[in-house]
Amino acid sequence: MVLVCLQVSLFLLVAFSIIYILPLYYLLSLNENPQHEKYTPYSHVGVERAEHFVNQWVVHIDGDAAFADQVAQDLGFHYNGIINGLNKHYVFSKEQHNPRTPEETLTETLGLLNHPHVLWTQQQFAKHLTKRAEVQELRRQLRAMSHVYREETEVSKYETLFTDEWWPMQWYEQDYRATNSSKRLDLNVVPVYQKLNITGAGVNLIIIDDGIEYTHEDIKDNFAPELSYNFNADKWDITPRYEDPRNKHGTRCAGELVMKPNNSKCGVGVCYGARVGGVKLLDGETTDLIESKALQFALDQVDIYSGSWGPPDDGKAMDGPGKLSEAAIERGIKEGRNGKGVLYVFAAGNGKSHGDNCAADGYINSIFTIAIASAREDGESPFYSEECTGVHATTYSGGITDPVKIITTDVHDTCTCEHSGTSAAAPMAAGVLALALEANPNMTWRDFQHALAWTSETEPLSQVSGWDRNSRNLWYHPAFGFGLINAYKLVSYAKNWKNVATQRKCEITLDVGPPTEFTYSSPWKRSYNITACSGSQNEIKYLEHVLATVSIDYRRRGDVQIELTAPSGVKSVLMRPRPDDDAEIGFANWTMLTLKHWGESPVGEWTFEIFASKYDILLDLFKSGKVKDLKLTLFGTKEMPHHYSTERIYEEDIDLD
């Protein structure tokens, strides 16, 4: 009898396992690694921090809209339309599907992929984007400062130029020096208004953020409703939701640009003659699809998009734009401004105090964006401003004289002197670029990047160690890029700028081994002789952007350091260790940007070195890291840019008169 009971119990256990456990295990395994030749896994786009997946699939179909509609019906989906700017990509939703699920619904995804005319699909998920919000400078640090850099004079020579209440406190736009022999500590903006009569007139900018209080007295006259939309609520009104006290960020960024002069209110915007619109993206659920719409909104009218946000600045995230957002940015570059390309300006990030660096931010690693870092009033790098070789240039975002940081508009028709962080630095750079764009609307997106490299100054930031000079005589620092933006010099150069030649791209897949392993005690190092596509239509003689794309297995990603040395001998540290990043997934086809070799010749020996930054007995003795794939992509020109005909000159006193 006992034996029979045992047999029955065993039978029931086996049956239960077959009916319930094995299918569940199979589904779980699908979620980890579904086996399908057309399935594209999510990597480095924020899925690890996804709040949930939504009932929305983006589907690439080999067919027109009518055919896509039929495919949707055949598979039990609703057809929700085509995606602008992305050829043959459509939006589907599933009938009777939960609006939110904690995990990807792989059965539906794989069902779509099994259709012979579906080339690719991904279910959308709620992304976790964060504002590069105000960072309160530590008061302990401020009290420790033994001097103030305005000690020569407390009065700017331009203090009475405008009547606005807080204009005298806008130290970053004025000149507080007693003599011209002193170190310049401002962006040299006022001479652009006075000597060149340029204020940004005719230039359209969009702040992509949490809304704009467009009724604000200092904003309303320059507000552009046709450049504004609320993608979080799918309606026009972009008024901030006042019940959330954090929703002041977009209003502050917009004020930096267009605060009206001489109205006795707040201060003066950097490009106060321009018009600004607002796209609300950061006040609700955000997906790759929503983000892509924001990044190309009003593309036929806009000149500059400013974004003071990105992946979390926690030292753990390694994320960037998804496929749709990447496509939107590329469309903006190819089609915007009648083919000359819109300017995408992004804040470099506020995570330095968390050990973060912007090499882990895919928005900064894009060749199509202009990454802006911060400097303090005394020329030091703030404790929050992230460093990497993708930083293009620097503006101010905080003073050492507490509590005046950046003057701008605030919600409820008020003003603030506490705007800071790289959130404040990026719009300021966008404003200066708007001035240059008024001076020369024929400049392309690459011309502006060249001009920043050619006119930004190092002298105000020179006391910070770590500057390197490349073979094109350009100074570069991973905390500041090519230096502090000099508005008057940039705009003056822009007026007579000659466009650079067509961009060329040379892509080289590199052999990684054997050996491919590395540890703390045994780095992976290999040199490659690069001809830069010599003799072909993609030949490059003068570098612009250099991209390194890597796939690396390592048990603790934050310990990995990646270095690249150019034929000139100049070294770029592409990825520095991030102590809080303990992800075990390594680098999955991750791309890093370096601008440090701008203008150099790419021909010759390039050397990669990859190593673990700290000793791990387990990895060193039993398991090593592994370099799986490596690719080098060079961008530049075969023809010498016109401005290279004379040597780059750096000046202590930045005045072209």
Q: Which residues does the annotation mark as catalytic?
A: 209, 249, 423
3-state secondary structure at position 322: coil
**Which residue's structure tokens are 């060079």?**
634
H or E segment at 426?
helix 422-439
CA torsion through residues 356, 362, 364, 365, sign: positive
**What is the rounded CA–CA span in Å between residue 279 and residue 425?**
19
Q: Which of 500, 505, 510 is nearest to 536 (CA)?
A: 505
Q: Is the peptide bond before 403 cis (omega within 30 degrees of 0)?
A: yes
> Quick check: helix, strand or coil at residue 488?
helix
Q: In the numeric block, which tokens belong to residue 346? A: 């992004």
| Cα angle value 504/508/514 (rounded, 5°) | 170
Phi, psi angle pair for 10, to nearest 5°: -65, -40
Both tokens assigned to 286: 């955000």
Question: Which residue from 273, 274, 271, 261 is spatially nearest to 161, judged by alpha carbons?
Answer: 261
Query: How would you classify the pairing of strands 343-347 and 304-307?
Result: parallel
Position 494: which residue type? A
Instruction: Report the candidate in 35, 58, 50 with the shortest Cα–Cα distance to residue 101.
Output: 50
> Is 38:106 a contact under the CB 8 Å cutoff?
no
Helix axes 445-455, 487-495, angle to 10 degrees: 130
- The rounded distance, in Å, linking the Cα atoms of 387 and 478 is 5
Query: In this structure, what DSSP letter does residue 380 have?
Result: P
Q: Phi and psi at residue 120, in whole multiples of 5°?
A: -165, 150
In this structure, the strands spanning 53-61 and 100-101 are antiparallel
DSSP-based three-state secondary structure for 337: helix
Chain length of the chain: 657
User: Cis link prior to 515 (omega < 30° from 0)?
Assistant: yes
Rounded CA-CA distance 400/226 in Å is 39
d(CA 128, CA 50): 6
CA separation for the pair 239, 359 (Å, rounded) = 34
